Amino acid sequence: MQQLPFDKRSGKIWFNNELCEWQDARVHIISHGMHYASLVFEGLRVYNKKIFKLEEHIERLFNSARILDMKIPYSNQEIIEATKKLISDQNIIDGYIRPFAWRGSEMMGVSAQNTKINVAIAIWDWPTYFDPTLKLKGIKLNISKWQRPPQNSSPWQSKAAGLYMICTLSKHQAEKEGYTDSLMLDHEGNIAEATSANIFFKDKNNELHTPIPDSFLDGITRKTVIDLAKSKNIKINERKISPDELSNFVGCFITGTAAEITPVGNILDNNFEVCDLIKDLSSNYELLVGKNN
135 catalytically annotated: no
Give strand pairing partners of 160. Answer: 40
Amino acid found at 278: I
Give, in order, the Cα–Cα distances in Å from 123 to each of 94, 193, 257, 290. 10, 26, 14, 18
Nearest Cα neighbor of 169 from 195, 197, 131, 132 is: 195
On the 0-12 / 13-18 / 19+ scale of CB atoms within 10 A, 133 is exposed
Strand partners, 47: 50
What is each CA distance from 284 to 48, 270, 280, in whole angstroms?
16, 27, 6
Task: Catalytic residue, from 159, 171, 176, 223: name it.
Answer: 159
For residue 118, which of 59, 32, 56 has the smallest C-alpha distance?
Answer: 32
178 φψ region: left (φ > 0), alpha (ψ -120 to 50), beta (else): left
d(CA 164, CA 169): 9
How far is 98 from 134, CA to CA, in rounded Å?
Answer: 25
Catalytic positions, please?
A: 159
